[in-house]
Amino acid sequence: MSILSPAGWLYGRIADLRNSLYDRGVLASHSLGARTISIGNLTAGGTGKTPLVAYVAEILTQSGQKVCILTRGYGRRNPRERVLVSNFDDVLADARTGGDEPVELATRLRGGSAVIANANRVSAAREAVERLGATALVLDDAFQHRRAKRDLDIVCIDATNPFGNKELLPAGSLREPMKNLRRADVVVITRSNLVDDQSLLRAKIVECAGNIPVFESSNKISGLTEVSEFNAVAEKGSKALAFCALGNPSNFFSQLTSEGYDLVSKKPFPDHHYYRKDEIAKLEKKARAAGAEILLTTGKDAVKLDGFEFGMPCFVVETKMSFDDADGFNRLITSFS
């Protein structure tokens, strides 16, 4: 218990009332006009959701669907503006206009999926279906966005910190009570490679949600891409300063360490932070003082580094998602497409 626990209790009651209104049809959920898969979470902060959005979109594209990702786009200049971030083939917005995660997704999925940033998923879906011809929609961070009907509801749970301190906002990180996991159709445990035993977490999921499908996933580093212009080569033995602006930066640092990268310094920034020229200079000064030879960052950060000049090599860490039962997960996704 904390001084904020009463506020968390009130937050939970409001969340339950809102869900009850949707359950009873008092508040309406709207069909989006195409097969729809939602990917969300119970907690605020990073749960490894963005890589899963990309993974699901790729599965749908490979199965012959024309996919559009609908996302809120946190941290962008005008959160009320609807922005076409990608039209399948071209990235049409920068991070400040479209949001860092939408632009990251658009860049990663260029040539495969379209991306629209809009807090109103119902309105965004109309544009995706009518203007872009989308046949499948992936809703990013939409477990609580109940105005939009979905055919499949996937919830991500971070193995390293499943439910925070189990208190609701603002006392904890839960967006709604854990029992509401029962609305989910599927649970994906992310970052399972960073935790030895999932048995207690799996038991808690069964307690909250019943016997729904549960998959374990891991993110593995698949390579490094240089964003500076040194034409440098980075190896695992290279001494590095890692920096990022993520909801859960410690997981990025832990993954680098667990896969053999020599982190001599780390620098987290607030989630969705936009970098300034002087901050990059300070990072490089900090790196040199620690004996670092290179900088390492994420794809989400890389889309906010265009136009910066670096005084030392800077690399984006590319990751690949894998599943304990990839065939089973892929079949589940395509059965709803």
Please say if the pLDDT value at position 1 is more than 80.
Answer: no
**Residue 337 pLDDT class (50, 70, 90 cuts):** low
Q: Which domain holds residue 252?
A: 220-319
Q: What is the pLDDT of residues 249-307, one digit of tens each?
A: 999 999 999 999 999 999 999 999 999 999 999 999 999 999 999 999 999 999 999 88
**180 & 304 share domain:** no
> For a pLDDT cut of 90, what percent of the chain falls above it?
90
Number of domains observed in the structure of the chain: 2
Please say if the pLDDT value at position 310 is more than 70.
Answer: yes
Beta strands (DSSP E) in 89-209 are 113-117, 136-140, 152-158, 186-190
**195 & 271 share domain:** no
**97 & 183 share domain:** yes
Please say if the pLDDT value at position 47 is more than 90.
Answer: no
**134 & 248 share domain:** no
Please say if the pLDDT value at position 336 is more than 80.
Answer: no
**Residue 4 pLDDT class (50, 70, 90 cuts):** confident
User: Distance between CA atoms of 113 and 67, rounded to whole angstroms?
Assistant: 5
User: Distance between CA atoms of 321 and 337, rounded to whole angstroms?
Assistant: 21
pLDDT at 22: 96
Burial of 23 (0-12, 13-18, 19+ CB in 10 A): exposed
Please say if the pLDDT value at position 237 is more than 90.
Answer: no
243, 269 Cβ separation under 8 angstroms: yes
**329 & 289 share domain:** no
160, 46 Cβ separation under 8 angstroms: no
Average pLDDT on 25-50 reads: 94
**281 & 328 share domain:** no
**93 & 198 share domain:** yes
**327 & 281 share domain:** no
**66 & 107 share domain:** yes
| CATH number, domain containing residue 301 | 3.40.50
| CATH number, domain containing residue 205 | 3.40.50.300
Q: Which two tokens stand for residue 4?
A: 């904020």
Please say if the pLDDT value at position 194 is more than 90.
Answer: no
Q: What is the pLDDT of residues 242-257, one digit of tens each?
A: 999 998 899 999 999 9
What separation in angstroms does the CA of 264 have from each of 125, 260, 261, 267, 288? 45, 12, 9, 11, 10
Q: What is the pLDDT of residues 88-145, one digit of tens each?
A: 999 999 999 999 999 999 999 999 999 999 999 999 999 999 999 999 999 999 999 9
pLDDT at 328: 97
Question: How much is the mean pLDDT over the chain?
Answer: 95
**44 & 184 share domain:** yes
**117 & 134 share domain:** yes
**77 & 10 share domain:** yes
274, 97 Cβ separation under 8 angstroms: no
Query: Between 215 and 44, whose confidence is greater?
Result: 215
Q: What is the pLDDT of residues 53-94, one digit of tens each?
A: 999 999 999 999 999 999 999 999 999 999 999 999 999 999
